[in-house]
Structure 1
């Protein structure tokens, strides 16, 4: 009997079970945000909608998340070409940019509070609540992405990420690009519908 590593296991569809699971997670997140943004549009049309300026840091955060997607892709490319030092550096940069994004979101929320835009409660308006929910749930997924990046970084420190063992970094890259794309969608949606 020949032992096979988990990385070699494929389902009968030809796709790795972990990739299949990741795509199911991504589809469920897309459905959740589609529901949120649909509810946003429906509720906005009902009236009693507070108009306020979006936090200015959201544009900066958009640039940060795009840059983090670039560094994540460079990490993937480095693993593919066995450039392990660059791989580690790009993963560290992705981690740093992801943390910077979260700090930016926190500043954005602080700006909202300073402008008397709150989440929930009898004195708040649904416009503010929707903004907190959209950015907060996305922020939660960024945290899960950062944990994923950290796991891949630790694996790369143990030389477990390279051209012959790409599954971890492939999954992480797909998820991180998805989170970046999701933020671009949310940012454009908020700009057009705010």
Structure 2
């Protein structure tokens, strides 16, 4: 009985953390909408590297879904967890390439040539990467547990928590990409409100995977 309570507590703690992250990014994206309406907003093309990042993180989630299905069959998921880890490294690489391209466009985080539009973009993408690093560390633990053959049908809570957090990071990046991609007046609010309207569906999808 204590074990069930502990498992429930760990799951609730994860969802509290996810809720806090959602509130943090909701605050940032709301600030973008308000600040853009004030004018003096630099328009620039979003690097395709960020689209490649979106594709990569989707593939990494698919790999974790396959790993989860293997655990439920009492098969070892190590190869697919490692695949997710490698894809996470590719994601990080694409992020850095995206920032590099932004600097070539004259879009900077701070400094004399910076604009608030560019600063917000860097803050949003950097904040996501910081949270992603936590997910990468969790994946390393998942690889270790898998190699030790700890995961099984009756013992996969830690994997569920790790995969739930990772899927959340994927959904969050897709939202941020669409938000930044369609930041023109009107469409930015449309994307923001449309995704918020689907938040219950998204949360249920993540929880059931």
Query: Structure 2: how far apart are the matches of 1:153 and 1:118?
Result: 37
Pairing partner for 2:102 from 112, 119, 130: 112
Query: 1:148 deviation in Å?
Result: 0.5
1:126-137 map, 5 Å: 126-137=116-127
Q: Please report the TM-score for the alignment, with normalisation by the length of structure 2.
A: 0.85
Aligned to 1:45: 37
Aligned to 2:151: 161
* Runs of 4+ displaced beyond 6 Å: none
Pairing partner for 1:9 from 4, 7, 14: 4
Aligned to 2:54: 62
1:1-194 map, 5 Å: 8-10=3-5, 16-84=8-76, 87-194=77-184
CA contact (8 A) 2:107 2:118 kept: yes
Q: Please report the TM-score for the alignment, with normalisation by the length of structure 1.
A: 0.91
5+ residue gaps in structure 1? none
CA contact (8 A) 2:106 2:113 kept: no
Larger RCO (alpha carbons 8 Å, 6+ apart): 1
